[in-house]
A and B are shown apart, each in its own frame.
Chain A
Amino acid sequence: EIVLTQSPGTLSLSPGERATLSCRASQSVRSSYLAWYQQTPGQAPRLLIYGASSRATGIPDRFSGSGSGTDFSLTISRLEPEDFAVYYCQQYGSSPFTFGPGTKVDIK
């Protein structure tokens, strides 16, 4: 089973700042089969990024994903008020398709 580790656990930033979230896998994720999701309180997760770097439909271009192998990242170029949430990475290259523990982005 591939274990995903996300860092930092919590990121405290101000609106307008840049956020960089990390997701590291215990073994290589084949074909960059990695997705990122955003979850706000009381809501279901929402897909942001798939294939490590492709934005989902309707996702603003301030969100970008990169990486391959075991190291991936999600960058939010300028934080908007609605971006303060928890972000999860998920690998779907090897069953079980595990999630990372999440990074909370909160307001500084």
Chain B
Amino acid sequence: EVQLVQSGAEVKKPGESLKISCKGSGYNFANYWIGWVRQMPGKGLEWMGIIYPGDSDTRYSPSFQGQVTISADKSISTAYLQWSSLKASDTAMYYCARHSTVGTTHNWFDPWGQGTLVTVSS
């Protein structure tokens, strides 16, 4: 069974750094694009970016470029989303999701991780 399991909820203060993770299993992690989606409280889904773990090719939404870093370690089948200096406006649920078709850049997300809630508050 293909599964994405995300790290647990985080509570941080403004200015702190954070790295959340998404571990894939049941498939060849290196060969599928994997992405991150933000959902702010009570709001819709926002596409943040994707990474191809095989060669770390990464595409960002202009809205998130420079605000976050997407990375992956194919040796442990894990993708990451990190912030160097959190803001209160980063408070949101963050989902990882995998492209459905092997090696395909233009693709839909399926499956999805369970989400990681990040709360940034002083």
Contacts and interface: CB of A to CB of B under 8 A. Distances in A.
B112 A90 contact: no
Given A96-B61, A97-B47, A46 B109 contact: no
B80 interface: no
A88 B59 contact: no
Given A44-B114, A99-B47, A92 B107 contact: yes
A96 B109 contact: no
A26 to B, nearest CB: 15
B45 A56 contact: no
Contact of A99 (B44, B105, B110, B114): B44
Instruction: Name which of A37, A96, A101 has the most chain B CB atoms within 10 A of its CB.
Output: A96
Contacts of B35: 97
B53 interface: no
B82 interface: no
A45 B46 contact: no
B59 A47 contact: no
Contacts of B24: none
B112 A45 contact: yes
Contact of B47 (A33, A50, A96): A96
A72 B75 CA distance: 40
A56 B110 contact: yes
A1 interface: yes
Interface in B32-73: 35, 37, 44-47, 49-50, 59-63
B108 interface: yes
